[in-house]
């Protein structure tokens, strides 16, 4: 990556419990694939889930962080290079609005 550019994958499950999705993106296979595609960071919004993803930091690994809830995930979506979602109504609608430029000041 030119100039140390960060490429973030943002995963969101909204307010639900979707441990299967969180576990899948936290797997070594998915992390390896994301690294191979040039992604540098994985940020997981895990909602009400009970599975806690591993936080990882280091030079040769994908930087991983997670949180449960936030007043707004719009900034996370806006700055991410890739968004993975459980496709709930709010997440899809918010993504559509951000991409269409309707909610620049969310």
Interior angle at CA 5, CA 58 and CA 55, nearest 5: 30
The percent of residues in the chain predicted with pLDDT above 70, rounded, is 75
- Segment 56-101, tens digit of pLDDT: 766 667 899 999 998 888 889 889 999 898 866 566 656 556 666 6
Cβ-contact 77, 95 below 8 angstroms: yes
Report the residue count for the chain: 106
Q: Give the pair of three-digit tokens for residue 10.
A: 């943002």
pTM: 0.79
Query: Is the model's pLDDT at 11 over the cut of 50?
Result: yes
Average pLDDT, the chain: 83
3-state secondary structure of 80: coil
Best CA proximity match to 11, nearest among 56, 44, 48, 49: 44
pLDDT band at 106 (very low <50, low <70, confident <90, very high): very low
How far, in Å, CA of 17 to CA of 28, rounded? 21
CATH topology of domain 2-100: Rossmann fold (3.40.50)
pLDDT of residue 58: 63
């Amino acid at each position: 990556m030119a100039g140390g550019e960060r490429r973030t994958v943002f995963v969101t499950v909204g307010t639900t419990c979707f441990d299967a999705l969180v576990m899948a993106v936290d797997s070594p296979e998915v992390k390896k694939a994301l690294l191979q595609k040039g992604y540098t960071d994985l940020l997981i919004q895990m909602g009400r889930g009970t599975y806690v993803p591993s936080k990882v930091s280091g030079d040769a690994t994908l930087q991983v962080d997670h949180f449960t809830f936030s007043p707004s995930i719009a900034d996370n979506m806006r700055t991410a290079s890739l968004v993975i979602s459980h496709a709930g109504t709010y997440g899809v609608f918010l993504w559509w609005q951000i991409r269409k430029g309707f909610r620049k000041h969310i």
